[in-house]
Amino acid sequence: MKLNEFLKDKRVLLLIVLVIASIGAISVLGIQQGLDLKGGSTIQLQLDQPVDTATMNTVTSVLDKRLNIFGVKDVKVYPSGNQNVIVEIAGVQPDDVAKIVGSNGKFEAKINNQTALVGSDITQVKTYQVTGTEWQVPFTVSLDGANRFAQVAKGQAGVPVDMYLDDELITSPEVSAELANGQPSTDVQISGTESTKEEAQTQAKSIHTLLQSGALPVKVKIVGVSSVSAELGSQFVNGALIAGVLALLVISAIIIIRYRNPILVIPIMLTSIAELILILGAAAVIHWNIDLAAIAGILAAIGTGVDDQIIITDEVLKGFSEKKKISGVRKQIKSAFFIIFAAAGTLIAAMLPLFYIGFSRGASGIGVLSGFAFTTVLGVLIGIFITRPVYAKFIEMMLDPKG
C-alpha cells in the first residue's frame, strides 16, 4: 500500500479530522481540572434526620442548583449514606459558599406575626441591585400569594413587614398605603444595608441565590470543612509525566529488541499520542473533569492501546511470513482485532459496574471510581474504533515487502 493511498483511507481521514477537532476543542474550551488538581474545598453536610432516596435527590439537586446560580462552575454534590451530603468545589474557598450550602432557604414574610408570604409563593427572582452599601432583591409572587399578602396587610398601613430567611430577620419594610387599602401587588422586594459595598454585594447575591433555588425539604448543617491544596495534584501530574516518559522509553527499547526495527517505535508512539489528544478533546467537549482518577484511567487506556498495537504488529508479521500476500495479512489483522475486541469487551464489562456505583452513590472513595472507569472506557472505545484500525493500515503498509 502506497502512502498516498493510505492517506486517502476513510479511517485515516477521520482520525486526522478528529485530532484537529480535538486540538481545537482543547484550545477553545480548555480542560476542566478536578478538585484534586485545581484545589478547592470539601464541605460535609448533615441532614437533621435520615431521608429516603427521593428526598436525598431533592436535597442534592437544590444544592447543585444553588451553587450554579451563585456562579460556582466546578462543583460536585453527592450523597454519602442517607443523612450526609458531600459538596466538592474546585477553586472556591469554603467561607464563600458556607451560607449557600448550609442554609435551609426557608422564606417567610409576616405582619403582626401573621404569615403573609412563603417561599412557595415566589414565581420569579429578578436581578439584585447594589447601590453603595444598600442592596435590593426584587421578586414576583403568584396572584394567590399577592391576594393573601394584601388581605393580611389590609388596614395595617405603616406596620412593619418582617421578612425572615431561615427564621432570621432580614428586613422590615412598612406596609404601604396602597397595600393597606387592599390593592394586591405581585411585585415584592427584600432590601437592606451593610457596612461595606462588598458585604452588600455578598448579602444580595446570597439572598438572591437562596430565593431562586428554593428551600430544602429538610434542615442541614455543616459538620466538616476542608480545603484541598492543588500542590499534591501538581506533584502527581509531574510524577505521571515522568513515569509516562520512562514508560515510553522502556516500551521503545522492548519493541526494538523484539522486532529489531527501530522504525516500528514511531507509529506506536504516534498512535498513543493521538489517543491521548482524542480523550482530552472529548473531555473538553463534554466538560468532563480531569482529576487524579481520570489521569489514571487515561494511562490505563493508553497502556491497553500499546498492548493491542503489539498484537496487531505480531499478526501482520505472521501474515507476511506465512502467506507473503496482502490477503493473508488482512486475515491475520482480523484475527488480531478479534482478540482486541474480546479484551476490550471484558475490560468495559469490568468498568461499567464501577462507573454505575460511583455515579449513583457518589460516596467518598467510591465516587472517584466513576472518573477512572469513564476515562478508561472512553480511551478503549476511541482506540478500537478509531486509532487502532488506522495503526493496522499503517503497519500493513510499512511492513509490506513489496511496498
What pLDDT, in 10s, does the model give residues 327-340? 666 777 888 888 88
Strand partners, 169: 164
- Higher-pLDDT residue of 271 and 370 is 271
* pLDDT score for 130: 92
Q: List all residues 6 or more positions away from 216 whose beta carbon is below 8 Å from its beta carbon.
A: 58, 59, 62, 63, 104, 105
Strand partners, 160: 174
User: Whole-angstrom Cα distance, residue 124 to residue 171?
Assistant: 19
Single out the residue of 191, 181, 135, 137 nearest to residue 161, CA to CA. 191
* pLDDT score for 278: 93
* pLDDT score for 327: 61
Q: Is 45 helix (H, G, I), strand (E, B) or coil?
A: strand
Q: Which residue has the cell 435551609?
A: 104
* pLDDT score for 23: 94
Quote the cell numbers at residue 151. 388581605
Query: Confidence band (pLDDT; 50, 70, 90) for 400?
Result: low
* pLDDT score for 362: 46
Quick check: 233 pLDDT over 70? no
Q: Is 287 helix (H, G, I), strand (E, B) or coil?
A: coil
Predicted confidence (pLDDT) per residue in 106-126, tens digit: 889 998 889 989 988 999 999
CATH code of the domain occupying 40-100: 3.30.70.3220
* pLDDT score for 359: 53
Asked if the domains 40-100 and 105-215 are classified in one and the same CATH topology, the answer is: no
On the 0-12 / 13-18 / 19+ scale of CB atoms within 10 A, 311 is middle
Is residue 37 within 8 Å of 290, Cβ to Cβ? yes
Cα-based torsion angle of the residue sequence 109, 111, 116, 119 in order, rounded to the nearest 10 degrees: 10
Please state the rounded mean pLDDT for residues 314-334: 70
Quick check: 279 pLDDT over 80? yes
Query: Confidence band (pLDDT; 50, 70, 90) for 399?
Result: low
* pLDDT score for 165: 85
Single out the residue of 371, 380, 313 nearest to residue 343, CA to CA. 380
Please state the rounded mean pLDDT for residues 235-255: 75
User: Whole-angstrom Cα distance, residue 11 to residue 9?
Assistant: 6
- For helices 265-285 and 10-29, give the axis angle rounded to 10 degrees: 50
Is residue 304 within 8 Å of 276, Cβ to Cβ? no
Please state the rounded mean pLDDT for residues 194-209: 88
On the 0-12 / 13-18 / 19+ scale of CB atoms within 10 A, 378 is buried
Please state the rounded mean pLDDT for residues 367-373: 69
Query: Confidence band (pLDDT; 50, 70, 90) for 366?
Result: very low
Quick check: 189 pLDDT over 90? no
The pLDDT > 90 percentage for the chain reads 11
Domain extents for the chain? 3-35+229-399, 40-100, 105-215
Query: Confidence band (pLDDT; 50, 70, 90) for 323?
Result: low
In order of 192, 393, 395, the CA distances from 403 in angstroms are 81, 13, 11
**Least confident span in 31-40, 63-72, 146-155, 187-196:** 31-40
CA 173 to chain centre: 42
* pLDDT score for 229: 67
Kindly report whether the global pTM for this prediction surpasses the value 0.75.
Answer: no
Quote the cell numbers at residue 194. 451593610
* pLDDT score for 321: 66
Q: What DSSP state is assigned to residue 195?
A: S
Query: Confidence band (pLDDT; 50, 70, 90) for 365?
Result: very low
Helix, strand counts (H, E) of the chain: 14, 12
AA letter at 389: P
Helix, strand, coil fractions of the chain, as percent rounded to 5: 60, 20, 20
CATH code of the domain occupying 105-215: 3.30.1360.200
User: Whole-angstrom Cα distance, residue 269 to residue 37?
Assistant: 26
Q: Is 41 helix (H, G, I), strand (E, B) or coil?
A: strand
Mean pLDDT score of the chain, rounded to an integer? 82
Quick check: 364 pLDDT over 60? no
Q: Is 9 helix (H, G, I), strand (E, B) or coil?
A: coil
Is residue 34 within 8 Å of 290, Cβ to Cβ? yes
Q: Which CATH class is domain 3-35+229-399?
A: mainly alpha
> Which stretch, 206-215, 255-264, 356-365, has highest mean pLDDT?
206-215
In order of 140, 180, 311, 357, the CA distances from 144 in angstroms are 12, 17, 72, 44
With vertex at residue 110, the alpha carbon angle to CA 106 and CA 116, rounded to the nearest 5 degrees, is 90
Please state the rounded mean pLDDT for residues 282-291: 84
